[in-house]
Structure 1
Amino acid sequence: MGLYRSVRAVTEASGTGPIDWGAVAEASKAGTDPGSLDVSPAERDGYATDVGDARDRVREVSGFEFDLPETIEIINRHHWIDNNIETFQRVMAPLEDHVGMFPAAARVVNTGSMTVALSFLARNVLGQYDPLLLAEGDGADDHALYFVYPNVTRVADSLEADSDRFRRWIAFHEVTHAAEFGAAPWLPGHLESRMESAIEKLANGDIDRGTLGELDTTMTAVEGYAELLMDRAFDEEYRDLREEIERRRRGRGPIQKLIRRALGLGMKRRQYERGKDFFDAVADARGIEFAGKVWDRPENLPTEDEIERPSAWIRRMDG
């Protein structure tokens, strides 16, 4: 019944734009099991403790002062869709005036594509620090911290990992992102402007390789610095968790691999790896405090060439 409702919502997509976002929300939730939110009081306390401990440790290691949301949200997959669909809609806004020669058919295809993307992400995202990129009005300075409880418990079970330890690992990772955005208040606007520019060019039939390259190097810095802090801040060895997750990724079926490739998630993995190598080299040479210079201003972000040659970035920062 859920699949039928999902397909029907997509095929009945309407409106004047290239994507019927109401249909995307309905179809994504109809085709996605929300998952259990049967969270015990002890588990809720565990999430709060882990986030608090992560904040203290990451502050100590990074030297950055940063805030966290007052409320840590433990959500299911449908909540994640609701929390993210407006951001997706704002990101895709430049496409609104580009429906094409066959608007009804294009609308169904685009609505179906976004439904697949949101459904897949809702089933796979574990935690999310959200600085509310592209937010408008009074909420523009807000931020949120989510944990998608059914995904966290499912992956911990599939890895046969200790659930408390796995939850703590995810909490530390998301808090490292909070540290980055706290240290670089310019970062959301920087990402927003680049995303809008790239999508605007795409809507006009062009590929802005320069802007896409900037986005890639920026996200490489974001993911790599987070990995650096994780290595220094997490309170126990976690190589075994990394290896189990890599084994799980390699074991995915062809459909999952295809969807991940279409969503650029293979690129995200590459960003982790390249960014980690870059910041490990910088920190080994000059320490974590020096590596944190990357967040002083946009001009301090490494270039594509510097990602491959950390010594060049070090020389530029010294100059």
Structure 2
Amino acid sequence: MDLSRSVRAIADAADAPGGVIDWDAVAEAAKGGCEPGDLRMEPAERAAFADDVRAARDGLRAASGVEFDLPDSIEVQHRHHWIDANVETFCRVLRPLEETATGEGVVPGVARSLNTGTMAVTMAFLARNVLGQYDPLLLAEADADDHGLYFVRPNIRQAAVDLSVGYPRFRRWIAFHEVAHAAEFAAAPWLPGYLEGRLEAGIEDGVGSLSDDSSLLDLARGGGAGEISTASDAFADLNTAMTAVEGYAELLMDRAFDDEYDDLRAKLDARRQDGDPITDLFKRLLGFGMKRRQYERGAAFFRAVADRRDLRTASLVWESPEHLPRNAELDDPDAWIRRVV
């Protein structure tokens, strides 16, 4: 790491022209906060990544009955590549907040540095922990690629070591999980627009609930861990939808994976819960606890539906927004079956 690089970038943000956040400084500071990791691969490993993704596509098509194409953009990245890709995503998502804040007057340099530092720490932490990512490119321009698929090789390799599992099998399992998200979005062409609408409404609600001396740190806490999301119907809807997205992907990858996975599931679940006190603090701040509950609650719902009926019945969730499970139905799958089937 090069923390001096991070400090310089955040300090310089105070004098930079622009709005609430200096996004160039975010990328620079975040990269100073984490090593990029090793991206050197032999041809055999490159071919294995491609084979994993193709096998996931074919297996998930067969299990779900959904025909879908892989994203045009499939990248094996190191951590700094991931930061560059996701700074653009964060910028798009927080643009309504920035426009509101800058429309009210000059943003003080100290506030810009604080917000820039908050986002940089967030990005560096995520870059050290994300294994793979399906990116539907929410709020992207109309001419942008439809979606992307990223694998952060240094993190996948390190997680395999930490979990004492074979790297090839673990890498393949991560591929099945991320490609499962591609299957979901292919089955539900309405889903990106729905998520975008709830996200934008939630951010607007969040802006309205922040006091004059609040920072993006407060919005991040609310959006990820509860202060604003509990007060916002839009964020509640978004949380329920993402619970369905994560839960269905868990069910689908388990039904489609072409190897044993019980040990992988148990160890990865434990990894989601373990961590040193500083890591736990960041997880709570960023909503990782909520994400774990999304996996568990959503997966339990869809497993119950599939066990009571079948996987095709569980897939009805993607026919329309009205078929999304309501919050209470997530704990009462029979109620969802009665309403939808």
Do both proteins adopt the same fold according to a TM-score greater than 0.5, normalized to the shorter chain?
yes
Cα distance in 2 between the residues matched to 1:250 and 1:289:
32
Cα distance in 2 between the residues matched to 1:181 and 1:311:
25
Letter aligned with residue 92 of structure 1: L
The alignment status of 1:133 with 2:138, answered yes or no, reads yes
Which of 264-273 and 61-70 deviates more? 61-70
2:125: which partner in 1? 120
> 1:188–1:98: structure 2 CA closer, same or farther, 3 Å change rule?
same
> 1:178–1:252: structure 2 CA closer, same or farther, 3 Å change rule?
same
**C-alpha distance after superposition, 1:63-96 (max 9, x if no partner):** 0011102453111111101111111001001111
1:61 to 60, 63, 78: 63
Which of 3-12 and 96-105 deviates more? 96-105
1:281 to 304, 323, 329: 304
Q: Post-superposition shift, 1:250?
A: 4.1
- Long gaps (5+) in structure 1: none
Secondary structure at the aligned position of 1:65 is classed as: coil
**C-alpha distance after superposition, 1:261-288 (max 9, x if no partner):** 1111110000000001110111111111
The alignment status of 1:180 with 2:180, answered yes or no, reads no
TM-score of the aligned structures, taking structure 1 as reference length: 0.95
> 1:148–1:16: structure 2 CA closer, same or farther, 3 Å change rule?
same
Cα distance in 2 between the residues matched to 1:202 and 1:132:
22
Letter aligned with residue 119 of structure 2: M
Confirm or deny: 8 A CA contact 1:95 1:199 kept in the other structure: yes
Secondary structure at the aligned position of 1:98 is classed as: helix
In the alignment of these two chains, the number of paired residues is: 317
Q: Post-superposition shift, 1:246?
A: 3.3
- Long gaps (5+) in structure 2: 211-227
Q: Post-superposition shift, 1:32?
A: 1.6
2:321: which partner in 1? 298
2:218: which partner in 1? none
Q: Post-superposition shift, 1:104?
A: 1.7
> 1:255–1:212: structure 2 CA closer, same or farther, 3 Å change rule?
same
1:149: which partner in 2? 153
Cα distance in 2 between the residues matched to 1:95 and 1:70:
30
The alignment status of 1:221 with 2:244, answered yes or no, reads yes
1:12: which partner in 2? 12
| Superposition CA RMSD, Å | 1.6
Secondary structure at the aligned position of 1:170 is classed as: helix
1:169: which partner in 2? 173
Confirm or deny: 8 A CA contact 2:101 2:107 kept in the other structure: no
Cα distance in 1 between the residues matched to 2:270 and 2:247:
21
The alignment status of 1:210 with 2:225, answered yes or no, reads no
Letter aligned with residue 219 of structure 1: M
TM-score of the aligned structures, taking structure 2 as reference length: 0.89
2:3: which partner in 1? 3
Cα distance in 1 between the residues matched to 2:331 and 2:272:
25
Cα distance in 2 between the residues matched to 1:251 and 1:314:
35
